[in-house]
Structure 1
Amino acid sequence: MASITLQNVIKRYGSGKAANQVIHGVNAEIADGEFIVIVGPSGCGKSTLLRMVAGLEEISDGQISIGPRVVNDLEPSERDIAMVFQNYALYPHMSVFDNMAYGLKIAKVPLEEIKARVDKAAKILEIGPFLQRKPRELSGGQRQRVAMGRAIVRQPQVFLFDEPLSNLDAKLRAQTRLEIQKLHRELGITSLFVTHDQVEAMTLAQRMMVMNGGVMEQFGTPEEVYNRPATTFVAGFMGSPPMNLLKDAPGAPPATIVGVRPEHLDISPSGWALQVEAVEMLGAERLTYGRWQHGSADELVIIRTEESHTAAELGSTICVTPRPDKIHHFDAATGKRKDNTV
């Protein structure tokens, strides 16, 4: 196992004036054994960053270290990493056992050790009964576990996951998230996990990098990112539904965007007057969408309440009050958090 250090990592495609820079100076210290999630929308550079750690993309500038070694110029096979991709990339003509053992056979690991490693990984992933099956005889979730097993038997210093759950349905995604958490607890191997799904990020990460346009907007624990977002982008991206970001809110200093999460708005006798446009019932909770017109602003505000709360009628007017200790302030020009807020 090993730590990972990213020092001013930059990626450009092309050269000179025509160069397109897609990663803008990422810096991060990842401790030995940490599980880090790189999260952001499509095209933000998260997979490119992962592929640079893996050695599948060249680094334009900066430095990447795995443990004490600078790996900028090392081939992927020399970096002691194992990667799990979105597509399972299993050999269809091979059994599960042979798929998991293939890399070890190429490395000329003794057969007894290969069997021991494969059996141990199969037990951890609960795929022991399937070792003699072909991939076509497995479900999507089982195939993904085989792909993870193939990485485990390598006994690498670092695991790299590139959106490995994207091809699974919602139920299997949730189940596989639990399996990945269990796997990390048992093996303790340093891991980088790329996803565009903020639920995966919040549930899996010990710390997360939130990427936007090739820039790392925030690096922190899920609690830090959710409770103290560094920018309006992070505030709007992390959370479902997203944080309400309101311009020219009453009581706010000039050039300030006020942020408040839907669960931190309380329906009250007075306060911000909203005209109800839609109500969504989501089992144990309810989302109410209200139009707020104040001054020159016309904004949609989302309120999250428990299911037991009486539903507002469409077209009616309700009043809400933000909880004073849950209000966030951001600079309207830069989108960055102002330090004097929660």
Structure 2
Amino acid sequence: MASITLKNVVKCYYGIGRKTVNKVIHGVNAEIADGEFIVIVGPSGCGKSTLLRMVAGLEEITEGQISIGGRVVNDLEPSERDIAMVFQNYALYPHMSVFDNMAYGLKIAKVPMEEIRQRVDKAAKILELGPYLARKPRELSGGQRQRVAMGRAIVRQPQVFLFDEPLSNLDAKLRAHTRLEIQKLHRELGITSLFVTHDQVEAMTLAQRMIVMNAGVMEQFGTPEEVYARPATTFVATFIGSPPMNLIRNAPDAEPGVTVGVRPEHLDITPDGWALTVNALETLGAERLVYGRWQHGEGGELVIIRTDEGFPAPALGSTIHVTPRPDRLHHFDTATGKRR
């Protein structure tokens, strides 16, 4: 196991003759402790996979420094970094058995066969793959194939695990089940892990701490609880949480240039308060979402209120009043989007 340090990590792509520059990672700094499980989350194109690939050595670093276990790895090949990577597409050899897929890297490294058997058997036990070691990948489900890919990484006994959206090809039920397996795996092995996803549910459920990326910038680095309860920017406020935080530019009693944020579950329907016109209702089993259009000031922002199933549903087109819980209000600079 090993810590990971990112110091002002920058990635640029250059045009012909280096006359144009496209900066895709803007000076990321992070200290990741030995044994931590870190999730890098953000929308498509935000740079999260590029950042992971720079840690892996699959992308060159333009500026800055990456250290693994106290050793600067900027100029080391991927094979010299003592990392193991799990990809989205499994990358299994179709003609090989599960055992041989998991053992392949060890055979190339000329590890003695008895040790290979011990490592594969141990990984198979952890991942509940024992009954499938003789099967070919085509005889497995998508979730089982992904476990084989994880098993191939485990047997390497690396210092760091890197996961690049490994659950994206699975259906919703399998994703949830595999998330539990990954949590169990980390508890048992305790290996430092970086996990990339665009799915905020994966991020919130898996991360000990999470890096929220936006357009190549690290917007926030903190625990899921910190990121949800005290988002550093309006981007984080609306990206983390489903439905997203309401952002209101013209809230009563707010200072000029201040955007007020409040999560849907922290708005109460009351006899008086902010006036909203009900636009839509969404019933989600144990809860209901009420979508209202803000009647105060300009813009008519859409505001979402989360209520429980027992609350009477307001009529479409009717006016309701809501009151935010004072201790749950967030204030952001409207110009910069940063928390005040």
Residue 118 (structure 2) pairs with residue 116 (structure 1) = yes
Residue 47 (structure 2) pairs with residue 41 (structure 1) = no
AA matched with 2:72: V
Residue 13 (structure 2) pairs with residue 13 (structure 1) = yes
- Rounded to whole Å, the distance in 1 between the matches of 2:259 and 2:19 is 35
- Rounded to whole Å, the distance in 2 between the matches of 1:312 and 1:334 is 36
- Rounded to whole Å, the distance in 2 between the matches of 1:297 and 1:133 is 60
Greater shift, 303-312 or 223-232, is seen at 303-312
**Counterpart in the other structure of 2:92:** 90
**Counterpart in the other structure of 1:284:** 286
- Rounded to whole Å, the distance in 1 between the matches of 2:186 and 2:87 is 17
AA matched with 2:269: I
Q: How does 1:131-280 map to 2 (within 5 A)?
A: 131-280=133-282
**Counterpart in the other structure of 1:80:** 82
Task: Give the secondary-structure state (helix, strand or coil) at the position aligned to 1:121.
Answer: helix
- How many residues matched? 338
AA matched with 1:12: C
Residue 317 (structure 2) pairs with residue 315 (structure 1) = yes
Match of 1:306 among 282, 305, 308: 308
- Rounded to whole Å, the distance in 2 between the matches of 1:293 and 1:143 is 52
- Rounded to whole Å, the distance in 2 between the matches of 1:286 and 1:296 is 27
**Counterpart in the other structure of 1:129:** 131
Any idea what the Cα deviations from partners look like across 1:201-236, whole Å, max 9, x if unmatched? 000000000000000000000000000000000001
Task: Give the secondary-structure state (helix, strand or coil) at the position aligned to 1:309.
Answer: coil
The alpha-carbon deviation at position 314 of structure 1 amounts to: 1.0
Task: Give the secondary-structure state (helix, strand or coil) at the position aligned to 1:298.
Answer: coil
Any idea what the Cα deviations from partners look like across 1:140-188, whole Å, max 9, x if unmatched? 0000000000000000000000000000000000000000000000000
AA matched with 2:239: F
With normalisation by structure 2, the TM-score equals 0.99
**Counterpart in the other structure of 2:34:** 32
The percentage of aligned residue pairs carrying the same residue is: 84
- Rounded to whole Å, the distance in 1 between the matches of 2:279 and 2:244 is 17
The alpha-carbon deviation at position 334 of structure 1 amounts to: 0.4
Task: Give the secondary-structure state (helix, strand or coil) at the position aligned to 1:297.
Answer: coil
- Rounded to whole Å, the distance in 1 between the matches of 2:8 and 2:190 is 27
Residue 4 (structure 2) pairs with residue 4 (structure 1) = yes
Q: Give the alignment's Cα RMSD to 1 decimal.
A: 0.7
AA matched with 2:6: L
The alpha-carbon deviation at position 17 of structure 1 amounts to: 4.2
Task: Give the secondary-structure state (helix, strand or coil) at the position aligned to 2:210.
Answer: strand
- Rounded to whole Å, the distance in 1 between the matches of 2:24 and 2:297 is 39
Task: Give the secondary-structure state (helix, strand or coil) at the position aligned to 1:294.
Answer: coil
Match of 1:63 among 40, 61, 65: 65
AA matched with 2:289: L
The alpha-carbon deviation at position 297 of structure 1 amounts to: 2.9
- Rounded to whole Å, the distance in 2 between the matches of 1:220 and 1:17 is 37
AA matched with 1:254: P
Structure 1 runs of 4+ aligned residues shifted over 6 Å read: none
Structure 2: where are the runs of 5+ without partners? none
The alpha-carbon deviation at position 295 of structure 1 amounts to: 1.6
Any idea what the Cα deviations from partners look like across 1:40-81, whole Å, max 9, x if unmatched? 000000000000000000000000000121000000000000
AA matched with 2:243: P
AA matched with 1:298: G
- Rounded to whole Å, the distance in 2 between the matches of 1:50 and 1:330 is 30
Structure 1: where are the runs of 5+ without partners? none
Task: Give the secondary-structure state (helix, strand or coil) at the position aligned to 1:229.
Answer: coil
- Rounded to whole Å, the distance in 2 between the matches of 1:283 and 1:208 is 29
The alpha-carbon deviation at position 312 of structure 1 amounts to: 1.2
Task: Give the secondary-structure state (helix, strand or coil) at the position aligned to 1:245.
Answer: strand
AA matched with 1:244: N
